[in-house]
Structure 1
Amino acid sequence: MELARLYKSLIDVIVAQAGSAALLHVHAGLAIYLVALLLAPHRRGAILALQVVLAAELGNETLDWLAATPHWTWADTLSDIVLTLLWPVAITAAGAWRRRRWRRMVVSAARPGVVSLSSTRRAPIATT
């Protein structure tokens, strides 16, 4: 419990200096996501980085709950989780969508008998 109160007092000092606690959740989520993405052991570490952000946020909310049990609310906790995970989830989803689209293009280009749009266009006739 003492650790939770110490953590809460440190967070309160940071919020007092920086401003909005909601904005700090957004920045912290992105910062943790980028650091985890850079440290990921494989090329596509976005899911792992997202899991690290989720674990960090759940740890943060657990410490908040332990430090402020009488004043703790579900609305604040859910808001903090959404704000922290919003951009990391969006970036991970956009990357997955782009990979899926790229794979479809590669597979369709590799199929024999499939004529691509660029090969059906007629070449211009040069006149001299």
Structure 2
Amino acid sequence: MFNALKTELSEVLHLSKDALHIHLGLAIYLAVLLTLTRGRRLWLPWVTVLAFELFNEAIDIFHHGPSTAELSGSVKDIINNMLWPTVLLVATHILLRRARQMDGTGEAVGSEGGFSRR
């Protein structure tokens, strides 16, 4: 059923399943990031995307069996799904670190992201 839903969604949106992984990974990342209150850790959206992706791949492997082709496809899907959330996490961390250094207090301006040293 889950695989049929993914196939249907892919066809309705006219996207390959690889592109669907990328779009859904970013959508989940941004949805979690935007629903967090200030001061929350920025890694939580990344971990949420990873959890969704690992759950998705576990279902795929359960459905199709743990063949070499399925496992290599799962690795590709995980990379597709996690690439941009990882880039966003690292970029945000670097920008907040620079903001802290420019502020001179050792804390992020406005305590964004939970990277403060308290």
Superposition TM-score tier, normalisation by shorter sequence: 0.7 to 0.9
Residue 25 of structure 2 corresponds to residue 29 of structure 1: yes
What is the count of residue pairs matched by the alignment? 103
Alignment root-mean-square deviation, CA: 1.8
Distance 1:99 1:19 in 2: 34
Structure 1: gaps spanning 5 or more residues: 1-5, 109-128
Question: Of 3, 6, 14, which residue of structure 2 is paired with 1:8?
Answer: 3
What does residue 90 of structure 1 align with? 87
Distance 2:103 2:86 in 1: 26
SS at structure 2 position matched to 1:59 = helix
Stretches (4+) displaced over 3 A: 41-45
Question: Of 38, 41, 52, which residue of structure 2 is paired with 1:42?
Answer: 38
What does residue 71 of structure 2 align with? 74
Write out aligned runs for 1:112-127 (5 A).
none
Tell me how far 1:44 sits from its aligned partner: 4.2
Distance 2:103 2:15 in 1: 47
Tell me how far 1:54 sits from its aligned partner: 0.4
Distance 2:76 2:70 in 1: 10
The alignment's TM-score, normalised by the length of structure 2, stands at 0.78
Distance 1:16 1:70 in 2: 26
Distance 2:66 2:83 in 1: 28
The alignment's TM-score, normalised by the length of structure 1, stands at 0.72
What does residue 103 of structure 2 align with? 106
Distance 1:13 1:96 in 2: 37
Distance 2:66 2:75 in 1: 17
Whether the aligned pair in 2 keeps the contact of 1:37 and 1:45 (CA below 8 Å) is no
